[in-house]
């Protein structure tokens, strides 16, 4: 089994950060990196949902750390995706981070558990994506007329759960399309475990989406090494990861 890369968090948060509303992985004068819990939306949804569903913006005032403005998310994670989320602490930081994401200079690695057996231990998925329908603007499909979309993947482990073979993947999106990793896995013949839209998971009582933003690498400072941050896997993925050979020391 290939051993996953394990970049270390460049700066650990302070001890009092344990009382924060979301886990803090990294903090400096320009940015924060938090470990977003699965199920927490980054932004508010339709008006009918805003009163009943907590969102990340509800917690941002607690992440100011003495600055007059609260931080803002510099990119997005799906509601059901856990892991590394980068926040800019002021307008200049947001401008720099946004440009770096647009230019593809920020490295992102996701861990995913998929159903099935990828034939190759690594590869590149190169499938353009477009909207599935105007009514479901955030649901995507493989579309020859869609936007170019590329994902590099590597199999880190293989195993079985009660329903059949599963695999543990490290995935690097080379483009940033909506639901890109999920659609690319489904189109490759191995949908993500727990995916209610593109996989076989039930709407209620499923295992939860097995997709985790494991690591980010951010070359924010010209005269320093890139900032490398990792997020521990979430509890709902541990059983499947262990079935594929993962150990807590990985």
Compute the distance between CA of residue 236 and CA of residue 210 in angstroms, rounded to an integer: 8
Residue 160 buriedness (CB in 10 A; 0-12 / 13-18 / 19+): exposed
- β-partners of residue 26 are 33
Whether residue 74 contacts residue 56, with contact meaning beta carbons closer than 8 Å, is answered with no
Whether residue 125 contacts residue 158, with contact meaning beta carbons closer than 8 Å, is answered with no
Residue 20 buriedness (CB in 10 A; 0-12 / 13-18 / 19+): middle
User: Of 81, 43, 80, 83, which Cα lies nearest the Cα of 59?
Assistant: 43
Q: Which of 78, 80, 121, 126 is catalytic?
A: 78
- Is 78 among the catalytic positions? yes
Phi-psi region of 116 (alpha: psi -120 to 50; beta: other; left: phi over 0): left
Pair of tokens at residue 22: 């979301």
Residues with a catalytic annotation lie at 78
């Amino acid at each position: 089994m290939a051993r996953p890369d394990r970049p270390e968090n460049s700066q650990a948060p302070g001890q009092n950060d344990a009382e924060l509303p979301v886990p803090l992985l990294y903090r400096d004068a320009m940015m924060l990196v938090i470990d977003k819990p699965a199920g927490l939306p980054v932004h508010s949804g339709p008006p009918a949902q805003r009163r009943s569903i907590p969102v990340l913006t509800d917690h941002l005032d607690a992440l100011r750390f003495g600055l007059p403005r609260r931080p803002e998310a510099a990119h997005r994670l799906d509601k059901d995706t856990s892991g590394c989320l980068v926040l800019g602490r002021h307008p200049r930081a947001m401008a720099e981070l946004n440009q770096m994401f647009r230019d593809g200079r920020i490295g992102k690695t996701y861990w995913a558990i998929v159903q099935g057996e990828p034939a190759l231990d690594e590869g590149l998925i190169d499938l353009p994506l477009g909207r599935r329908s105007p009514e479901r603007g955030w649901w995507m499909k493989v579309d020859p007329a869609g936007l170019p979309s590329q994902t590099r993947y590597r199999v880190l482990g293989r195993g079985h759960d009660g329903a059949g073979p599963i695999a543990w993947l490290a995935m690097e999106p080379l483009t940033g399309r909506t639901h890109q990793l999920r659609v690319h896995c489904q189109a490759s013949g191995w949908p993500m475990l727990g995916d209610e839209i593109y996989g076989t998971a039930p709407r209620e009582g499923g295992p939860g989406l097995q997709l985790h933003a494991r690591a980010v690498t951010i070359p924010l400072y010209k005269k320093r090494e890139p900032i490398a941050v990792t997020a521990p896997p979430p509890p709902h993925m541990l059983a499947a990861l262990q079935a594929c050979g993962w150990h807590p020391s990985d």
